[in-house]
Amino acid sequence: MEIPMDLHSIVHSLIPSLNSVATLLAFFIYLGFAVSILPGKVVPGVILSDGTRLHYRCNGLASLLLLVGLLGFGVVMNFISATVISNRGLELLSATLIFSFLVASVLYVAGSKSRDQGSSLKPHVTGNLIHDWWFGIQLNPKFMSLDIKFFFVRAGMMGWLLINLSVLAKSIQNASLCRSMILYQLFSVIYILDFFFYEEYMTSTWDIIAERLGFMLVFGDLVWIPFTFSIQGWWLLSNKVDLTTAAVIANCFIFLMGYLVFRGANKQKHVFKKNPKMPIWGMPPKVIGGKLLVSGYWGIARHCNYLGDLLLALSLSLPCGTSSPVPYFYPIYLLILLIWRERRDEARCAEKYKEVWAEYCRLVPWRILPYVY
């Protein structure tokens, strides 16, 4: 994002043009259609605190690949410019902010007027907002349910990839493509594709099962994910970094470690919830109270998955070197978010599992990083 220096230019570049509003709307309309009609595995979510269970159609990867294919075709045919996003970064940011504010306000009003005390205030039944309030159409919940929280997080992750691709195109256009940009782009594309490949795992995460659909989630998914996770790419567009080969190898190593821990821990928990007898690292799992896994990563720290994510976040910033704190915004923010999240999750689990949780804390004393925290 090229940040203009004087106040007048900043204000000017923050006012969304018709073009940026159209770009944003086209993206949401495409996504709405794609996730509604493309085939995908329908997975049952976890049973929620009110006893209900939503079903999720996991077709995010198909929707993303089709979108990238269509955009690539559009670029090759000269219908659109590959740098359309990187040329209008601030405008798109402000358009997304306004859009998110409108969406969050509508959800809040719809929720507070709903029959059962407000669906949008009630954390889990977000899909019913569409059914009950917007269209009044009763869809078969198993096959046609659209969970807005699931939709938003997918929009955020896709938006991040689209921004990155456009930033990459800009750096090629500027003849400034360097090792740092390639590393950042490579790590992020693996992270994003992995998210969609395993999107089924998302259905049992905190955001889906325990977070209210309100301003925080809407802004977090639609604005925060695409625009702050891509800061490193924007920064590299206007800053040159010379990475040594040793730095590149060390960076790849941190990414790989982070990936193994992040994906391994989340996968172990997900598989355990589906089949509590499935071996972990080749051995029968150790379980307490029949509900909590104490084997594998979950026997090393109570939130090893957060440790993996933090290493990944660090590895996405390290390509930018150490000359500025700006590219480290994402890992620093994630550290604060995940420590806060971990505290809230612990409180929830302590209440839900009572003495079983106390026993788990005794057996696994470390929260995120063994011997440190």
CA distance 252 to 217: 31
DSSP state letter for 286: P
Residue type, 288: I
Q: Taking the CB of residue 203, how many other CB atoms lie within 10 A of it? A: 19
CA distance 219 to 283: 42
Q: Name the token pair of 181.
A: 């940009």
CB of 344 to ligand NDP, least distance (A): 9
Q: How far apart are the first and last CA of the chain?
A: 36
CB of 306 to ligand NDP, least distance (A): 5
**Rule CB under 6 A: is residue 205 a binding residue for ligand NDP?**
yes
The residue within the footprint of ligand NDP, chosen from 103, 349, 361, 369 (CB under 6 A), is: 349
- Of 104 and 293, nearer to ligand NDP (C-beta) is 293
Q: Name the token pair of 342.
A: 């971990």
**Cα three-residue angle 330-343-362, rounded to 5 degrees:** 125
CB of 99 to ligand NDP, least distance (A): 20
Q: Which residue is nearest to ligand NDP (CB)?
A: 205
Distant-in-sequence, close-in-space partners of 123: CB < 8 Å, separation ≥ 6: 48, 49, 209, 210, 211, 212, 213
- Of 104 and 338, nearer to ligand NDP (C-beta) is 338
Residues within window 259-318 making contact with ligand NDP, judged by CB under 6 A: 262, 266, 269, 272, 292-293, 298, 303, 305-306, 309
Per-position x/- string for 23-62, each x denoting binding to ligand NDP as judged by CB under 6 A, each - no binding: -----------------------x----------------
CB of 206 to ligand NDP, least distance (A): 3
- Of 88 and 269, nearer to ligand NDP (C-beta) is 269
Task: Choose one: 15-23, 98-106, 157-165, 331-339; the region binding ligand NDP (CB under 6 A).
Answer: 331-339
Per-position x/- string for 60-99, each x denoting binding to ligand NDP as judged by CB under 6 A, each - no binding: ----------------------------------------
Specify the 3-state DSSP secondary structure of 325.
coil
Residue of 207, 199, 184, 197 lying closest to 313 (CA atoms): 184
Largest CA distance in the chain: 65
CA distance 175 to 260: 34
The residue within the footprint of ligand NDP, chosen from 352, 354, 355, 365 (CB under 6 A), is: 352
- Of 179 and 341, nearer to ligand NDP (C-beta) is 341
The residue within the footprint of ligand NDP, chosen from 132, 194, 200, 345 (CB under 6 A), is: 345
CA distance 253 to 301: 21
Query: Is residue 120 packed enough to be buried (19+ CB in 10 Å), middle (13-18) or exposed (0-12)?
Result: buried
- Of 241 and 364, nearer to ligand NDP (C-beta) is 364
Specify the 3-state DSSP secondary structure of 144.
helix
The residue within the footprint of ligand NDP, chosen from 73, 134, 197, 206 (CB under 6 A), is: 206
The residues of the shown chain that bind ligand NDP, judged by CB under 6 A, are 46, 205-207, 262, 266, 269, 272, 292-293, 298, 303, 305-306, 309, 334, 337-338, 341, 345, 348-349, 352
